Structure 1
Amino acid sequence: MFSNILRPLLMTMTLGLSSIPAYAQSLQLDKTQMDNLGVSYQAAVSVSETKSHHYPAKVSVPNANRHIVHTSQEGVVTQMLVAEGDVVKAGQVLATLNSPALLTLQTQYLQAEGLLSQLLTEMQRDKQLFNEGIIAERRYLDAKTRYQQQKTLVDSQIKTLQLAGMPLEAIKTLKQQQTMDSHLHVRAASDGVVMAQNAVIGQRVMASDVLYEVADLSTLWLEIHVPLAIASNINTGTKVVVCDRDVSAAVMTVGRQVHDIDQGVLVRAETAENADLLTPGEFVQVCFVQNNSSVLYEIPYKAILRIDGITHIFYFDGQSISLRPVHIISQTDNKVTVSDEFLSTGYVVEEGVSSLKSAWQAVGE
C-alpha cells in the first residue's frame, strides 16, 4: 500500500532533479498526497524563555514555617481537639491536660499576691508615718524595698503561669475569684495546618513533650538535586516551574556540597504562587526557566529527525516542503526550543515525518 502511494511521489521528486543532492530539494505536494502520507503541520511558537531538562524535586515546609505545640507542665491528656490535616488559628485550644503541677503554680501565685497586698499596706502606712515625722526614713525605705521585691516575684509568677498555658485574662480571674483549676489548655502559637499528632487521650506527658506539629503552608520549598555542571549555571532568583501544575518558584539557595548518593547539588527554590497545589513530602518534576535576549521557537519533539548526525525538520512554506537543519537550544519530553529565524514564517511538519524521510532517502539512492 505504502509503495503505491510513494511511487508517484518519488517520480514527482526526481523529475529534473537528478543532478542535485536529494536533501537540497523541495517537494510540492497537494492536499491529497499529504493526506495519503499522513502529513500535518503547525506554526512554530515564538518564546522568550527556555526550559531545562526535568529534574526531581521534593516538596518540603520551610524551617521558619514549622512549629511544635508542647505542654509546659506534666499532666494527663484529657482532650485532643484537632487531628492531622486540620487547619488551626493562632490562640486556638488544641488539647487539654489535667495537671496537678498547674495547681501548685496557682497556689504559689495566690500566696505571693496575698503577701504583696500585705506589704503594700505596710508600705503605705510607713509612708504616712514618715511624712508625719513619727518614724525614720530608713524604716519607710525598708518597707518600700520589701514591696518592690515581692512585686517582682509576683510578675515572675504571672509569666510562669502564662508559659504554663494560662492566658492573662484567666490569671486575672484567678486573682479575683481565688478559684484554682487544674485543667491546662494547650493553644496554637500561630495559624497553620496540623502536620502530625504525637499524643493520645489518657497519655501522661512530661513538661516539653510535643503534642502536635503545625506548619504554615502558604509558602513551600522545592528541594532539587541537579548535576554539579548544571548547578554552576544556576543563580539565585532563577525561575523554576513544576511541569504538570501551574506552580512557579524562585531559586533561593544553590548548595555548596556534592551529595554522595547521586553526586548532585541541592538547589532550593521557594514557591511564589499556588502553593496549595503542592503537598509536603511529595516528589514532582521541575525545570529551570531562563530568559533569552533573542526570540526562540518552540516546536514538537516528534518533528525532529537526525540525518548524518545533524538535526533537521521538514519545513512547509505554504507551497513546498523542504528539509532544513535546526539548532537546538533546549528540549523537554515533548517540546524542543530552537534558534532558527526562518521559523518566524511557515510551518513545521509534525506528523508524517517518517514517510517524508523515507521518500527523501529513496530519492537519494
Structure 2
Amino acid sequence: MNHSHVNGTRGLYALLILSALFAVKGAWASEELIFTEAQISALGIEVVNPAIADVAPGPSYPARVELPPGQEHVVTAGEGGVVEAVLASEGQTVAAGEPLLRLRSAGIAALEREYLQAREQAALARQQTERDEALYREGIIPERRVQESRSALAQAHTLSQGARQALEAAGLDAKDLHTLEQTGRVSSTQILRAPFTATVLEVMVRNGEQADPSTPLLRLGQTSTLWLEIRVPVEDLAGLSVGAGVQVLHATVLGRVILIGQQVEPADQSVAVRAEIHTGAESLRPGQLLQVSLLEPSGAHAFRLPASAVVHRGEGQYVFVQSPQGFRVEPVRVLSTSTGDVVVNGTLSTDDRVAVKGIAALKGAWLGIGGE
C-alpha cells in the first residue's frame, strides 16, 4: 500500500472539511464552532479533562476549617452512669442509629420502670373509661362517673407521655422504646446511638469512666459541607466580593466566598473572610489549619492543561471546550507555564473536555468567523 497516497488523501479530506466549515460560517453562533463527530475524528481533534492545579495563583492567606452552625452534635450521658464500652473511634463515619457508646446507668433503669408503670396505669384508666361509658349508655351510672373516668384517663396519659419524653431526653431512641414496650424488661444498660450520619470528631471518655448527668461523651459533625475562616489583610480586600473563588494550596479543594467581615482585627489589621467548600471537603477536618488563595475578579479556579490547548488571539488567551454542537471558545488567563503544561485561570470545570490536538483546524475555523 502507498502510505504517502493514504496520508495525502486524509489531508485532502481534512482540507475539504475545513473549506466546508468556512463556507457555512454564518451558521455559527457567537464563539460557537459547529463540528460533527465525523469531522472531529477526521481532523484528528483530541480532548482532555482539565485537572485542578495543585498550586493556586496569587498571594496565600491563613485559613481554618470550621463546621457550619447546626452541623455539630454533642452526645451526652443524659442520666449519667459508667462507660462500659466506647463503640466508635475518632474520624469514623457513623450512620444514623449506629451504636456509639454503651453505658450502665441506674438512672435509666429507674426511668424505664416509671415509664412502664405509667403505661400500665394509662391502660387501666382506658379500660375503666370504656366500661363506664358503656354503663352510662345503659343508664346504670350517672354522667358524673364518666366524666371522672375521662379525667383520670387524661391524667394517666399525660404521665405516660411525660415518662416517655424523659427517656427520650436521656438518649433512648424509638427502637429502644419499642423494645421496652414489647418486652417490659427494665435494663440498666443504655446504648447511645448516632442521631444522623456523621463523622466522630472527638471521643471525650474512656471505658470504665464515671459520666455524670449531661456530661459530653462524643462530638459528632456532618462534614459534607465545611467553611473556611480566612484572615485577609485590609489592603488586600480591594476588589474582593462574595462569590469569589477560593483554592486550597497543594490540594484539590475549591470553594466560594460567602461572607466578608466588617470588623478589623487590631493586632494584625486583618478581616475575616468566610468561604464555603464545594469540592474536596472530604479531604479536610474541622480545626485544620491551611493556606488558601483568593481568585479574583472572576471567581474562576486554576486548572492544569497541556500547553497545546491554549491559543492566542490579539492579547487574549483561549481554549476550545467541546459542546453538543462542536466546540465553544472559552477565554482563560495563563498563570504559569512549565515543560509541556500551563496553569490557567478560567470558568472551566473538571468535567469539561478541552481540545489539545487538532488545534490548528479549530483556530482556523474560529478565525474564519470574524477574522483577526
Q: What range describes the TM-score normalised by the shorter chain of this pair?
A: 0.5 to 0.7
Change (3 A) 1:230 1:333: farther
Change (3 A) 1:285 1:87: same
User: Following the alignment from structure 1 to structure 2, what is the Cα–Cα distance between the partners of residues 94 and 116?
Assistant: 33
2:222 matches 1:222: no
1:207 deviates by 1.5
- Quick one: which of 123, 131, 137 aligns to 1:131? 137
1:48-197 equivalent positions in 2, closer than 5 A: 51-197=57-203
- Aligned with 1:272: secondary structure? strand
1:298-317 equivalent positions in 2, closer than 5 A: none
Change (3 A) 1:106 1:256: same
Structure 1 residues 39-75: Cα deviation after superposition (integer angstroms, max 9, x where no partner) = xxxxxxxxxxx95422222223323322211121111
Q: Aligned AA for 2:292?
A: V
User: Following the alignment from structure 1 to structure 2, what is the Cα–Cα distance between the partners of residues 169 and 132?
Assistant: 43
1:242 deviates by 1.7
RMSD of equivalent CA atoms: 2.7
Q: Which has the larger radius of gyration?
A: 1
User: Following the alignment from structure 1 to structure 2, what is the Cα–Cα distance between the partners of residues 59 and 250?
Assistant: 14
Aligned partners of 1:52 and 1:332 also within 8 Å: no
Structure 1 residues 289-309: Cα deviation after superposition (integer angstroms, max 9, x where no partner) = 1246xxxxxxxxxxxxxxxxx
Residue number in structure 2 paired with 1:309 = none
- Quick one: which of 236, 244, 255 aligns to 2:250? 244
Q: What TM-score, normalized by structure 1, do the two folds share?
A: 0.64
User: Following the alignment from structure 1 to structure 2, what is the Cα–Cα distance between the partners of residues 235 and 207?
Assistant: 47
State the identity %.
Answer: 32
Q: Aligned AA for 1:151?
A: H
Change (3 A) 1:109 1:263: same
1:178 deviates by 2.4
User: Following the alignment from structure 1 to structure 2, what is the Cα–Cα distance between the partners of residues 239 and 262?
Assistant: 24
Residue number in structure 2 paired with 1:209 = 215
- Aligned with 1:145: secondary structure? helix
1:214 deviates by 1.3
Change (3 A) 1:169 1:244: closer
Residue number in structure 2 paired with 1:287 = 293
2:273 matches 1:267: yes
Structure 1 residues 272-300: Cα deviation after superposition (integer angstroms, max 9, x where no partner) = 111123333333222221246xxxxxxxx
User: Following the alignment from structure 1 to structure 2, what is the Cα–Cα distance between the partners of residues 142 and 212?
Assistant: 48
Residue range with higher mean Cα deviation, 180-189 or 50-59: 50-59
Structure 1 residues 334-353: Cα deviation after superposition (integer angstroms, max 9, x where no partner) = 9999xxxxxxxxxxxxxxxx
Q: What TM-score, normalized by structure 2, do the two folds share?
A: 0.62
- Aligned with 1:174: secondary structure? helix
User: Following the alignment from structure 2 to structure 1, what is the Cα–Cα distance between the partners of residues 220 and 160?
Assistant: 33
Unpaired runs of at least 5, structure 1: 1-49, 293-328, 338-365
Aligned partners of 2:239 and 2:297 also within 8 Å: no
Residue number in structure 1 paired with 2:301 = none
Aligned partners of 2:84 and 2:207 also within 8 Å: yes
- Aligned with 2:242: secondary structure? coil
Change (3 A) 1:149 1:62: same
Structure 1 residues 316-347: Cα deviation after superposition (integer angstroms, max 9, x where no partner) = xxxxxxxxxxxxx998999999xxxxxxxxxx
Change (3 A) 1:203 1:110: same
Unpaired runs of at least 5, structure 2: 1-55, 299-332, 345-372
Aligned partners of 1:54 and 1:332 also within 8 Å: no
Change (3 A) 1:143 1:279: closer
User: Following the alignment from structure 2 to structure 1, what is the Cα–Cα distance between the partners of residues 241 and 192?
Assistant: 43
Aligned partners of 1:52 and 1:331 also within 8 Å: no
- Quick one: which of 224, 231, 238 aligns to 2:237? 231
Q: Aligned AA for 1:182?
A: S
Change (3 A) 1:64 1:119: closer
Q: Aligned AA for 2:185?
A: T
Aligned partners of 1:98 and 1:182 also within 8 Å: yes
- Aligned with 1:64: secondary structure? coil
Residue range with higher mean Cα deviation, 128-137 or 168-177: 168-177
Aligned partners of 1:197 and 1:211 also within 8 Å: yes
1:215 deviates by 1.5
- Aligned with 2:230: secondary structure? strand
